[in-house]
Amino acid sequence: MIRETTIRFRLRHATITCLLLIPVANAADWNQYGGEGGQQFTALEQINRSNLDRLIPAWTYRSGDLNQGFMEKAHSFQANPIFWNNTLYISTSANWVIAIDAVSGEERWKFDPALPRDIDYSESASRGVAIWHGDVETCPHRIFMGTLTGFVYALDALTGEVCTDFGVAGRVDMSVDAGGTGNWLGHYGITSPPAIAGGALIVGSSIGDNRMVESPRGIVRSLNVITGTLNWLWDPIPRAPEDPLRAEWAGNSASITGGANAWPPLSVDMERNLVFVSTSSPSADFYGGERLGDNRHANSLVALDIDTGAVVWHQQLVHHDVWDYDIPSQPTLTTIQREGAAVDAVVVVTKTGMLFAFARDDGTPVYEITERPVPQSDVPGEFLSATQPFSSIPPLADQSVITEDDAFGIAWFDRLGCQSVLRELRSEGIFTPPSLEGSILSPGYAGGANWGGVAIDQERQIAITNVNQIPALVRLIPRDALQTLRDSGELDGWDISAQTGTPYFMARRFFLSPLGLPCTRPPWGNLVAVDLREGTILWDIPLGTIRDLAPSVVPDFAWGVPNLGGALLTGSGLIVIGAATENTLRILDVETGEELWSHRLPTAAIATPMSYEVEGEQYIAIAVGGHEPLGMEDGDYLMTFKLERDRP
């Protein structure tokens, strides 16, 4: 289905008006990350509760990307495929872009940007690509992909060839003017697909955490989709002295601090001419003594004008972040039926394990937000916000104080090991700040919710999100004490970051037992349903079993496990989800959480499923790539499922 629309886009010195032929989204389309409005919802309902016994694998494509030859980059495969012209488009951990026949699974073309293989990378994710259609001679159908080295490529969707009129030889270097001290190659990149807003391509960035105060700027930029020239840029940190928000940054800190970048996918509301941006923590992540104040627009949901990049409204969801509590999810556009009124809203879930929703027009909270007192820091030089914002919706993940009585182990010595660590830690529930002796963060720096975001069934007014319940340990180490602690073995098993420009190194790790399982009682991962009308939890269940995590002698307890990735909802009332650190794809009932179907996979599907329709048949597709940092075996599978045809 095609509709005509007239749209303006900017070249460097002119504004041009063109007639574009734009496919209109319908139930069979999945033409952007997360589907329409990022809802992770398809209206397709051919696959339903009554016929799941006939749901079988349709085809499996293997990309060949298993991280071969990359010296310092973990492997993952997190793409959410997009669908156009009976073709699925994906990106891989090596930033290959691949077009695959949506019916047969045959490769149509592959593009390799040839990432450097002899450098280290702070990230391995590439969550997908974006597509644009226009009435232009060169590349009228364009695929855009950002790389882990900070380039945006434009490719012909039909051939995979670079669009030579875009940037320089088909690419734009987004690291230019991003700043940062020293070499950031492999640590300044793009992990989420750009957003398409008419004739504009809007791009965020992923910046390596915890390295130094003077990291690159977390700027968001709008590019012309044809030429790649800059329309505007927005810096979440107020650099200009006359900016009123400069008061939220003490002294000269707004001039030297980096980060606050937008690494999750962005969402566009063309009717309101807005792009919604989720921002992250400013540098350095776990110590904020060099950036005193609330640090707005870091850790915020921000609505920007598509034409100018001006801030229309903003809501900060974590003040003066020292927990790595980024806003990790794509802003999701939906309509909420609340107190007798229909509110066009934007929804985010956070690492703190909370769901927030705001009116898209002006940022008015849909559910009440209160500022509550939180624990304060005893680290010299650190001054935290006295309060933090809390949603009136009950927490999606545990935020309570963890004590010795909460220690867990599958053997007596396992539990004792966890208890001995707990005795030494500062533990005061959510927002317990990092300390010199060590603190327990609950939720940990992986969340709560993470980049899998929230899936919304607008008709049923149900939101679904998966959360982690794995506490993390964090401690700050004076610079003159690091070597002694290392020599003593006290930091064995800890990840240590420099935080250059601060008085402290940072050490962190997940709170795991001697046998490698979380030190707190399960569930360690949950799937949660929120009733959007009432602002209440509809149901909450453990997500996954420990069969692929625990030693083989341990039973396959359905304890809920760590997870990343998200859920797909369907018009037939189904939830489709992998996400868990278990080699299983599941389908559940959206109203009750009852498991209806499952299928064993070659490794874990740390990704978000999507669905499409070709010639009257509905397919479900998911990237099955494992996740090296989570201990899951690497994979390179794109797997699809459909209903088995009736036998004659």
The span from the CA of 41 to the CA of 460, in Å, is 12
Give the pLDDT score at 17. 39
Give the pLDDT score at 647. 53
Q: State residue 559 phi and psi, 5-degree precision.
A: -90, -10
Query: Can you say whether the dihedral through the CA atoms of 350, 356, 357, 360 is positive or negative?
Result: negative
Confidence of residue 552 (pLDDT cuts 50, 70, 90): low
Q: Give the catalytic positions in this structure.
A: 324
Query: Average pLDDT of 536-546?
Result: 97
Confidence of residue 11 (pLDDT cuts 50, 70, 90): very low
Confidence of residue 551 (pLDDT cuts 50, 70, 90): low
The span from the CA of 627 to the CA of 208, in Å, is 18
Give the pLDDT score at 72. 84
Query: Average pLDDT of 335-343?
Result: 95
Give the pLDDT score at 9. 36
Query: Can you say whether the dihedral through the CA atoms of 259, 265, 270, 271 is positive or negative?
Result: negative
Residue 279 contacts residue 263 (beta carbons within 8 Å): no
Confidence of residue 365 (pLDDT cuts 50, 70, 90): very high
The span from the CA of 318 to the CA of 327, in Å, is 9
The span from the CA of 437 to the CA of 439, in Å, is 7
**Beta carbons within 8 Å of 432's beta carbon, 6+ residues apart:** 375, 426, 439, 440, 441, 442
Token reading at 222: 């709008």
Residue 609 contacts residue 570 (beta carbons within 8 Å): no
The span from the CA of 103 to the CA of 52, in Å, is 20
Query: Average pLDDT of 75-87?
Result: 97
Residue 569 contacts residue 42 (beta carbons within 8 Å): yes
Give the pLDDT score at 3. 39
Beta strands in 368-435 (DSSP E): 369-373, 387-391
The answer, yes or no, to whether residue 287 has pLDDT greater than 60, is yes
The span from the CA of 148 to the CA of 127, in Å, is 11
**How wide is the angle at C-alpha 366 spanned by C-alphas 365 and 370, nearest 5°?**
50
* Helix or strand run (H / E) with residue 419: helix 412-422
The pLDDT tens digits for 375-384 are 999 999 999 9
The pLDDT tens digits for 164-179 are 999 999 999 999 999 9
The span from the CA of 645 to the CA of 647, in Å, is 6
Token reading at 244: 């009123």
Residue 503 burial class via C-beta count within 10 angstroms: exposed 0-12, middle 13-18, buried 19 and up: middle
Query: Average pLDDT of 211-237?
Result: 97
The answer, yes or no, to whether residue 190 has pLDDT greater than 80, is yes
The span from the CA of 387 to the CA of 370, in Å, is 9
The span from the CA of 218 to the CA of 95, in Å, is 21
What percentage of residues in the chain have a pLDDT greater than 70?
Answer: 95
Please give the DSSP secondary-structure letter assigned to residue 320. S
Token reading at 98: 């691949």
Residue 590 burial class via C-beta count within 10 angstroms: exposed 0-12, middle 13-18, buried 19 and up: buried
Radius of gyration of the chain (CA): 23
Confidence of residue 438 (pLDDT cuts 50, 70, 90): very high
Please give the DSSP secondary-structure letter assigned to residue 413. H
The answer, yes or no, to whether residue 412 has pLDDT greater than 90, is no
| Cα–chain center distance at 644 | 33
Helix runs in 447-556, H state only: 482-488
The answer, yes or no, to whether residue 184 has pLDDT greater than 60, is yes
**How wide is the angle at C-alpha 529 spanned by C-alphas 523 and 532, nearest 5°?**
150
Assign residue 85 a region (left: φ > 0; alpha: ψ between -120 and 50; beta: otherwise): left
Query: Average pLDDT of 520-531?
Result: 96
Instruction: Give me the residue label for tokens 């939180």.
Output: 374
Token reading at 615: 């010639």
Question: Domain ranges in the chain?
Answer: 2-643
Length of the chain: 648
pLDDT mean across residues, the chain? 93
The pLDDT tens digits for 247-277 are 889 988 999 999 999 999 999 999 999 999 9
Give the pLDDT score at 517. 85
Give the chain's end-to-end CA distance (angstroms, integer): 34
Give the pLDDT score at 225. 98
Q: What is the CATH number of domain 2-643?
A: 2.140.10.10
How many Cβ atoms sit within 10 Å of the Cβ of residue 551? 10
CA dihedral of residues 197, 239, 286, 211 (deg, nearest 10): 80
Confidence of residue 29 (pLDDT cuts 50, 70, 90): confident
Query: Average pLDDT of 351-362?
Result: 98
The pLDDT tens digits for 462-478 are 999 999 999 999 999 99
The pLDDT tens digits for 104-122 are 999 999 999 999 999 999 9
Please give the DSSP secondary-structure letter assigned to residue 38. G
